[in-house]
Each structure stands twice: as structure tokens, then as C-alpha cells.
Amino acid sequence: MSHLMFYPETGWTPLIESATREVFEVMLGAKLEPFQDDPSLVTEMIAMVGLTGRVAGVVSFHCTAQGARAMAAKMLGSAAPEEDSARDAVGEICNMVAGSFKNKLGQVGDECKLTVPTIISGAECMMQASPGGTHVQMPFSYEGSPIAVVLDLRN
């Protein structure tokens, strides 16, 4: 297996953006809108999925508690999901975004593996990328709530 750094011709942004949109359109029946306001990543819930192999790093998904409940409600078909379901839903969304992103890498993605999701929650959660790596941040709006998908890759 080659350990040379891989860089897609299109850059990373279209890949992570299309992976995110695909998950929301197929699994939640939702078309994501661009988020125009402050793209700060200070949120209330963060899910993370690690990626190992020729493309190594973390895909993370950031949202508010209200947004997490809205996504869980849509996935479960229930009006008022519990806190555990909201966390679970956010983890699964992040897992699918990371999987879809990996699948878009073709043969290089085939050589990569994903970790199971980790979810953290609390007031003003914040995640900071390692210096020197690739950082792509995609802010969206889901039913009026801000969400963000972040790709942090090791160079």
C-alpha cells in the first residue's frame, strides 16, 4: 500500500459537501441551505468519526441540541425524541457522512477505515484542529438550526 499523501483533483470541499447533502437528502428528505451567519463552531453537540489509511483524520458534525432533536425526530418519525436518541442520531449522521465521503475517494477510500462514532455534548462544545493539517468547514442550516461538517486531515 502506498503511503504517499493523496489529494483529490477537485479538492476536498466538493467531496465533503456532496457527502453531507447526500445524507440529508436521502435519509432525512431535507435540502440543506447555506448558513449565512457566524460560522463559529461553538455548538452543543459534536459527533466525530476517525478515518485511517492514506487519507487520515477526523470527520466531525456540529449542531445545537435543538437541531439534534429535530434530526432525531425526522429519523425516528416521532415528535419528541429523548436526549439519547438525539445523540445517537447525530452520531449516525456523522457516520454516514464520513462513509459517503470515503466512498467518494474511490480506490484510495477503499484502503481507508472508519472508526465508530464518538459523541460529546454540553454547553459551548468546541473542537480545535491540529495545526498544519487540512481543515475544511462546511456550515449549513437545517430547519433553521445551524449545523457544520468539518474535515480535519493529517498532512
Catalog residues that contact other proteins under the rule CB under 8 A. 22-23, 26-27, 72, 75-77, 84-85, 88-89, 91-92, 95-96, 98-100, 102-103, 109-110, 114-116
d(CA 102, CA 113): 8
How near is the Cβ of 40 to other proteins at its closest, in Å? 27
How near is the Cβ of 21 to other proteins at its closest, in Å? 11
Which is closer to other proteins, CB of 109 or CB of 139? 109
Which is closer to other proteins, CB of 28 or CB of 129? 28
Residue 12 CB neighbour total at 10 angstroms = 18
145 in Cβ contact with 68 (< 8 Å): no
How near is the Cβ of 78 to other proteins at its closest, in Å? 9
Helix (H) and strand (E) counts in the chain: 4, 7
Q: Which of 77, 81, 40, 80 is nearest to 62 (CA)?
A: 40
C-alpha cell at 147: 449545523
How near is the Cβ of 95 to other proteins at its closest, in Å? 6
End-to-end Cα distance, the chain: 17
Classify burial at 53, counting beta carbons within 10 Å of its beta carbon; exposed 0-12, middle 13-18, buried 19 or more. middle
Which is closer to other proteins, CB of 24 or CB of 129? 24
Which is closer to other proteins, CB of 85 or CB of 129? 85
Which is closer to other proteins, CB of 108 or CB of 125? 108
How near is the Cβ of 92 to other proteins at its closest, in Å? 4
